[in-house]
Structure 1
Amino acid sequence: MSKVRRFKKLRKFIKDPDLFFYDMFKKRVFKAAEKTVREKKEISLPSTAVDLDRVRKIGVQEYLRETMGAGYGVEDGSDKNSLLIWSGNLYGLLDVVSLLKESLSMSVTLYTLGGHYNSVFGVDDRLDVRVVGGELGTRPDFVLEMGNEAGVLHVLRIYQYDIADDGLANVRSSSALIRKFQVRELGAIYNGTPAGCGYSTPIDAVYTWVNHADSDWQALWTTTYPSDEFDPDRYTSNDELRYSLRSLNKYAPWLNRIYVVSNCSQPGWMKEHPKIVWVKHEEIFPAESMLPTFNSHAIEACLHRIPGLSENFLYLNDDFVLNQPCLPKDFFDEIGRSVAYFEPYGMVDSKAGRDTSLDYLAAANNSKVLLKTLFSDYEARCLHRHVPYALKKTVLKEIEEAFAKTIESTRNAKRRSLSDVNVTSFLYHHFAFVSGRAVKGEATSLIVRPGNVEKILGKDTYKYKMLCFNDGDGSATNGRYKEHTSRFFTRRLSESAAWEQ
């Protein structure tokens, strides 16, 4: 090697060691695996411009897949918002993202799911490809979010695979559908076609919602309880529904219809949209005498009666928020069983659980007693986490038939009572689990309250997959809590959904 070449290599190493090793690794790998990779497809390297006409025609996801020679559907075989790229092409991907950012005037957010790394680049900020690449180069996967004020939004989960000298690819993530394969098989395995799993079944979402400021709702309350003030923590609306819906739009775009069950008028910011269905209480309660109701347990005991509801659906309170990309398999497994996220704490028969003044624990204890009548050896101890509840309509119908008197009593209680059962947040999950229609799951989640709200504004902003901005502890009148939650929503869920005015 000449002195000039040695000097150039030394200068390159000192100036940019990441690029030096990237080039060296690329050459060595492709020297041994050149034939295999060529058979698969020539992997594209970074360019100095993007083909915007091509981007507009096929979309950002497909453009990145095409440019990077990437695969689709890393975990479930079908998700086209996840890309599998060769780790040696990471800098190339970031180069293209940087060019797209500038060409389309987008902001870019990059983070790892464990919350260990995150970077936010505003529309006017420069994306430093070398610095970011150095941070992400050793990671198995990361999330890429791109958006702008015009409503453009792309949320992609990027997975990386390495190539051995013999051409065998190894996906770094343990969640991958297939971790080891010949490079030439990438397109056959990760092509966005469901791999025989049950995730193609439609999944709806259901909300229950109340707005204390709604004049019709106030009239119903005053007529029913003329001498009582309502609990602001339980009935106050702080625009949570808008941001919760945005989180579904951003992190669960695969959802089918979204039903909102309410005895209030639609909020002013919501417009007619084919994906949103407004459902009145009269449409799901079996008897007019049960209305009006202000009891969430009663309303939840009727959700499976929503006309047109899919067999598999998610139930969310309006204070539930998704904070990371989710897949159908986070809620229903390959054969359609619902996933139950039981708490490792909060046992029903603990000291707190025996406090009959707490209506939600009383409802759980009542449900536990009911379950004992059918499953005498089963102990329903664990509460369900405050995350979206995965439910099956047929199982809810079975529960209604098995415990008809108790369900009817709960539906007749116009306010929460100590004789209620909580069907969607406790009874269903244990009934389905013990009868083989549910499995246990794990997910990072947090109940956000006035005492811990700072956690989601600092280094833990990207740590949790699911959040609950729980009403209680005086949150309805806590100005500091409202200010902090508003900052979080503005930062993480600023992109409007198609159903907003």
Structure 2
Amino acid sequence: MLNEIDLVYLWVDSTDPVWQAKKIEALKTIGGCTPTPFAARFRNHDELKYSLRSVAKHAPFIRNIYLITNQQRPTWLNPEAGGLFVVDHQDIFPDSSCLPCFSSNAIETVMHRIRGLSEFFLYANDDMFFLNDVSAEDFLVGNAKMRVGFKTNLVHIPRDPEHDPFSEQMVNSCHLMEVELGKFYRPRIHLRHWIRLRPFRKNFYLWNYPNHQIQIHSKSIAYEIHDRFPREVSTAMHERFRSRQSIDVAALLLYYAIYRSAATPIFDKNWLLMSRKNISRLLRKSRALINTPPSHRPKFLCLNDCEYNEHFDWGSYLTHMLERLFPNPSRFEKTTAENRDLYSPEAIVGGTPL
């Protein structure tokens, strides 16, 4: 079983005019509980190419890779690469009325339906990477119990009225678990985060956020979720865009695995999330990571595009960073020069060299 672990990616190219036309039409149908999504949720900077390089370099144990897309395919992708399969939304959504879909949360309700997918599989967004050598044992202990990474931050709803509905979805999942499953989870509390939240006690729950990193999932757990919470899962499956009314499906899958004693929470510091909330801090962290020997780097990295990048050239920053971390093309890429993007080490970010 440890030799049969697949990897599932979600991927979209927001520059595709056909996809853009579908999105414009879908946006006309959203209601008040579904805010207009941030553009950062759909931007493509070819992160997937570098994520696949990280797989080839650091995770050779992975059996097959499945790329879930909306009738799209990266131009640089090598169609002859063995063990790589492109899966269209219509192949896994059981109800065509769910399509077109622009919500990763909805796709998470059906990704376990990929034909031939392993019982245990890794799930990643295209902005997630392996920074160091990993093995199946990093995700499964010997008795096939999943190791799930968690933050010590508590789930809460931000005071900013323009925040992403992800927060409400996570709170909805926590509420569902408390009502249906009881208090089976004991959180770890980040002291400074707790002190900051205490004056707003109505806005947080005593649950931890799962790490925004490559995580392990189980097909059996996914099917149990569908059977136990059919109404909530169906609501999430039918959302075109993230809605404040639905649950966070991926989080519920991980928590339910803990409830079923099929998973154990891990609170280590073997992962790194970088996002442009503070540009000077971001560049310092980037330099430090590039200059750290590979064997001393954490195992997981997420370079998270978000609303903070609206006035920042995230694409140039990202490409330079990833070329330094993963310079060697993988077998998943076409080998002709015109299909390979090359970036010089002298590339700069916002006028500041890394």
Give the structure 1 partner of residue 7 of structure 2.
Answer: 205
Preserved contact between residue 216 and residue 264 of structure 1 (Cα < 8 Å): no
| Separation in structure 1 between the aligned mates of residue 23 and residue 287 of structure 2, nearest angstrom | 40
2:149 and 2:184 map into 1 onto residues whose CA distance is: 18
Shift of 1:414: 0.7
1:295 pairs with one of 84, 100, 103: 103
Given the alignment of the two structures, is residue 489 of structure 1 paired with residue 318 of structure 2, yes or no? no
Shift of 1:355: 7.6
Please give the per-residue CA displacement for 1:404-424, whole angstroms capped at 9, x wherever unaligned: 011011111111111121222
Q: 4+ runs of 1 displaced by more than 6 Å?
A: 227-230, 353-356
**1:264-303 correspondence runs (5 A):** 264-272=71-79, 273-303=81-111
Contact 2:38–2:307 under 8 Å retained in 1: no
Q: For the Cα contact (< 8 Å) 1:396–1:428, is it kept in 2?
A: yes
- Picking from 478, 489, 492, the partner of 2:312 is 478
Equivalence for 1:236: 43
Name stretches of at least 5 consecutive residues in structure 1 with no aligned partner: 1-197
TM superposition shift of 1:471: 1.5
Amino acid at match of 1:291: L
**Shift, 1:226, TM fit:** 5.3
Deviation at 1:472, TM superposition (A): 0.9
Letter in 2 for 1:433: I
Given that 1:236 and 1:476 are in contact with CA atoms closer than 8 Å, whether structure 2 keeps it comes out as no
- Determine the structure 2 residue equivalent to 1:371: 177
State the Cα distance separating 1:456 from its structure 2 match.
4.1
Encode CA deviations 1:252-299: one digit per residue, 9 max, x unaligned: 011011001110421110021221110011011110111111111111
- Distance 1:357-1:473 versus aligned 2 partners, 3 A rule: closer
User: What is the identity, as a one-letter code, of the residue corresponding to 1:455?
Assistant: R
Counterpart check, 1:225 vs 2:225: no
- CA RMSD in angstroms comes to 2.2
Shift in Å, 1:222: 2.6
What letter corresponds to residue 465 of structure 1 in structure 2? K
Is the 2:157–2:168 contact (alpha carbons within 8 Å) kept by the matching residues of 1?
no
Q: Distance in 2 between matches of 1:431 and 1:353?
A: 28
Question: Structure 1's 382 and 478: CA in aligned 2 closer, same or farther, altered over 3 A?
Answer: same
Task: Extract unaligned runs of 5+ from structure 2.
Answer: 31-35, 186-205, 335-354
The alpha-carbon distance between structure 1 residues 419 and 258, as it changes in their structure 2 partners (threshold 3 A), is same
Kindly state the Cα deviation for residue 495 of structure 1 after the two structures are TM-superposed.
1.0
**What SS is found at the alignment partner of 1:352?**
coil
Give the greater-gyration-radius structure (CA). Answer: 1
Identify the match of residue 499 of structure 1 among 332, 339, 352. 332
CA–CA distance in 2 between the matches of 1:469 and 1:249? 19
Q: Distance in 2 between matches of 1:236 and 1:305?
A: 26
Q: For residues 230 and 405 of structure 1, what CA distance do their matches in structure 2 show?
A: 24
Name the counterpart of 2:52: 245
Change (3 A) 1:230 1:400: closer
Q: Identify the residue that residue 125 of structure 2 maps to in structure 1.
A: 317
- Equivalent position to 1:464, from 298, 314, 322: 298
Separation of aligned partners in 1, 2:310 and 2:91: 30
Cα 1:281–1:227 shift into 2, 3 Å? closer
Deviation of 1:353 (Å): 8.8
Task: Give the one of 330, 344, 359 matched to 2:152.
Answer: 344
Cα distance in 1, alignment partners of residues 230 and 160 from structure 2: 25
Using the TM superposition, give the Cα deviation of residue 365 of structure 1 relative to its aligned residue in structure 2, in angstroms.
Answer: 1.1
SS in 2 for 1:467: strand
Distance 1:284 1:270, change over 3 A: same
Alignment check: 8 A CA contact 1:355 1:361 kept: no
Specify whether residues 416 and 204 from structure 1 end up closer, same or farther in structure 2 by C-alpha distance, changes over 3 A only: same
State whether residues 453 and 485 of structure 1, in contact with CA within 8 Å, keep that contact through their aligned partners in structure 2: no
Question: How many residue pairs were aligned?
Answer: 299
8 A contact 1:320–1:467 mirrored in 2: yes
Superimposed CA distance per residue, residues 356-393 of structure 1 (whole angstroms, 9 cap, x where no aligned partner): 95411111111112212332122460001111111011
Q: Report the Cα offset of residue 476 of structure 1.
A: 5.5
Residues of 2 paired with 1:443 and 1:276: CA distance? 30
CA contact (8 A) 1:340 1:439 kept: yes
Using the aligned pairs only, state the percent identity.
26
Q: Does 1:258 align with 2:65?
A: yes
State how far apart, in whole Å, the 1-side matches of 2:127 and 2:70 are: 18
TM-score, length basis structure 1:
0.56
Moved more, 394-403 or 267-276: 267-276
Q: Which has the higher contact order (CA 8 A, sep 6+)?
A: 2
Residues 341 and 385, structure 1, Cα contact 8 Å, conserved in 2: yes
SS at match of 1:213: coil
Residues of 1 paired with 2:140 and 2:311: CA distance? 37
1:435 equivalent in alignment to 2:255: no
